[in-house]
Structure 1
Amino acid sequence: MAKYLDVKAAVALSSGTAALHLALRNSDVKSGDIVLCPSLTFSSSANVILYEKAIPVFIDADPKTWNINCVSLERAIIACKKRGKLPKVLITVDIYGQSEDYDNILEICNKYNIVVIEDAAEALGSEYKGAKCGTFGKAGIFSFNGNKIVTTSGGGMLVSNDEKFVEQARFLSSQAREPEIHYEHKELGYNYRMSNLLAAVGRGQLAVLDEKVKSKQEIFSRYKLALGDIEGLEFMPMASYGISNCWLTTLVINEDIAGFNRDSVIVALEKENIESRPIWKPMHLQPLYKEFDYYASENGDISQMLFNNGICLPSGTNLSIDDQEKIIDIILSINH
């Protein structure tokens, strides 16, 4: 994996969440520290902040990419600074396989000495300006969960060009056992190792990773070709600065224009035993996180709008053309 990504070091772990947690531990995040995080993400991106009793501050999405709104990001940093405490870490999320705009993000974070940890759980094979996702900031993490492009049923990885950072993560993932003949422990560790058997399953898929990415991109293209002209439907924009692996095909439905909404599509597909789902419910709307600060876009709450109207369509690499055409036909029948 390190060779594929062109990074110096990597460690296989039990989950992407474990990798993200160890990245925060290695970044010296402690109780009361502030950690910035996109609101539009899966819950583990935020949960690891609470693992270390740190304080999450959530940032809205940019409607042009669905990634972090950099204006809102800097506004949040300045607000924290005025209160006397700068954030220690920013967790970025390459949402649904789309890379963040790392030139802008790193410029902002370097200005305020904020560590960047890249959550590339959904973005294996994606690129930003020719470099693979997961290789930006201090460290990157990946997930090999059952729904990912490469899967080990459950698993993850932490990667970095800082070899000591990765070695410390490896140490912590093995219960922080000291190199003694007996079991010696001087600090808190975790059972975050990936088993040899699951690692072998993952290695076997790396040989066909590029084929899997191509398959995902072709699924997205077929959906967009068939449905893209329907008024009121807008697919997740593809940023000009990168190449998305199209992990999931996602779109928003404007009911006022289309004449139908996201939920009607989900129900129609469910009647045919086809699963689809809303896009991630933003963290600032989750009961667990409702008391924490959230910096919305100047144009309104984009993350909430995307959640209210957005849908993820079936996008697995095992999706046949016939099955995809059936999905498309169901959506077209609603439109008519």
Structure 2
Amino acid sequence: MEKLIPLSVPNFAGKELEYVTRAVETEWVSTGGRFIKEFEEKIAKYLKVKKADACQSGTAALHLALWLSGVGKDHEVIVPTLTFIAAVNPIKYQGAEPVFMDCDDSLNMDLDKLEEFCQKKCFLSKEGLINQRSKKVIKALIIVHVFGNMANMERVMYIARKYKLKVIEDATEALGSYCTKGEYSAKFAGTIGDFGAYSFNANKIITTGGGGMLVAKDIALAARAKYLSTQSKDDPLYYIHDEIGYNYRMTNLQAALGLAQLEQLEDFIEIKTKNYALYKKELETIEGLDLLNFNKETRPNYWFYSLMIDKEKYAFNRDELLQKLYQRNIQTRPIWGLIHQQKPYLNNQSYQIERASYYLERVLNIPCSTNLDEQKVLTVIQLLKDFSSQRGI
């Protein structure tokens, strides 16, 4: 059996042990300590924003963004069906309901269908955009930058302004991706909409083990996010709380790890870019396989690599190839199950879901860790070439 080549694992090549040890030695291991503030400040500087608020997870960041967007009972939020369910569940936390949108060929939300839905299936009133079917106000739009591939934010913001929607960018997979052309040139994913959420889960481009970060265009709302995430503590000495808050703070241990990871972020992106290019070049020689492209007007972080399988031309379909690679100790993953088909969301509205189903059946994510060297990439490629000759066997 070949040595395991995992899908996406952390790379601790920097000062992680040094910083975490320092946090332990000072005994600041919980939700207080200097590493939290330093991590927030350095993320904010990297993203070129005024303030960033560390929190427990990307999900927590999204929940806070919805709360601060005024989303509540009897509201709706437009979301993609092709995403991880964490982008959708916080809507339910607020008592609101999602409306599901299809993806385009970048796997991001189909903006043509989004605009068509707003124009033909809704109407504007003094309360905001009203869904003709439910008669509810559509309060916000969650745009997910899938696998680090930025959506067309110029178009997103145009639609949002036209239809009075708050924009929450789920940049949990896209830390380091930024626009290179147009109105938002040099703007990072997560910093263009009203709110941006990031995740530092173990498989993300940098990790704190678990954890997230929220940024807000309105600095007052960013400050309010910090207040809400720390149990809405009005007096820290006498424990006075004037509002319901959340235990959403990151720990100092996590922040120490994240700080060391952040110092290596651009190096990690360089590695991912190089490995993507190698995969892309070699896979072009295999009939029936290709890597999906990243949007040309961006500098992506190349977080995940999406292998497109033509079931008519390649030897195996998605699930067969997944099993063949698993047998050779190569870890891969299909796209998430579409959210509008999940049991908790079967009764929610969806709009012309077509491409998402198409890609769900044909895409596998293949190994993309930042500690993946050229030889391991070539090992994966060689297996894919070997399998291609087995058509009909």
Normalised to the residue count of structure 2, the TM-score between the two structures is 0.82
* 2:338 corresponds to which of 258, 263, 282: 282
> Does residue 91 in structure 1 map to residue 142 in structure 2?
yes
CA contact (8 A) 1:268 1:330 kept: no
Q: Distance in 1 between matches of 2:348 and 2:108?
A: 20
Structure 2 residue aligned with 1:61: 103
Secondary structure in 2 matching 1:131: coil
Secondary structure in 1 matching 2:320: helix
CA contact (8 A) 2:315 2:387 kept: no
* 1:150 corresponds to which of 191, 206, 212: 206
> Does residue 302 in structure 1 map to residue 343 in structure 2?
no
Structure 1 residue aligned with 2:18: none
CA contact (8 A) 1:80 1:86 kept: no
Q: Distance in 2 between matches of 1:44 and 1:91?
A: 11
Structure 2 residue aligned with 1:37: 79
Q: Distance in 2 between matches of 1:128 and 1:4?
A: 15
Secondary structure in 1 matching 2:361: helix
103-112 or 269-278: bigger deviation = 269-278
Deviation at 1:77, TM superposition (A): 2.2
Secondary structure in 2 matching 1:255: coil
Structure 2 residue aligned with 1:207: 263
Q: Distance in 1 between matches of 2:138 and 2:382?
A: 48
Letter in 1 for 2:198: F
Identical residues among aligned pairs (%): 39
125-134 or 150-159: bigger deviation = 125-134
2-11 or 182-191: bigger deviation = 182-191
Q: Distance in 2 between matches of 1:234 and 1:227?
A: 6
Structure 2 residue aligned with 1:237: 293
Q: 1:85 to 1:75 in 2, by over 3 A?
A: farther
Structure 1 residue aligned with 2:60: 18
* 2:169 corresponds to which of 107, 112, 118: 118
Superposition pairs of residues 197-276 of structure 1, within 5 angstroms: 197-276=253-332
Q: Distance in 1 between matches of 2:364 and 2:249?
A: 34
CA contact (8 A) 2:74 2:137 kept: no
Structure 1 residue aligned with 2:219: 163
Superposed CA RMSD: 1.4
Per-residue deviation, residues 163-214 of structure 1 (Å, max 9, x unmatched): 1111111111111111353112222111100011111111112121100011
Q: Which has the higher contact order (CA 8 A, sep 6+)?
A: 2
CA contact (8 A) 1:99 1:123 kept: yes
Equivalences, count = 332
Q: Distance in 2 between matches of 1:252 and 1:282?
A: 17
Q: Distance in 1 between matches of 2:303 and 2:346?
A: 28
Secondary structure in 2 matching 1:178: strand
* 1:71 corresponds to which of 94, 100, 112: 112
CA contact (8 A) 1:20 1:141 kept: yes
* 1:106 corresponds to which of 137, 157, 182: 157
Normalised to the residue count of structure 1, the TM-score between the two structures is 0.95
Per-residue deviation, residues 44-87 of structure 1 (Å, max 9, x unmatched): 00111111110100110112x22111121123323133344441
Q: Distance in 2 between matches of 1:259 and 1:273?
A: 19
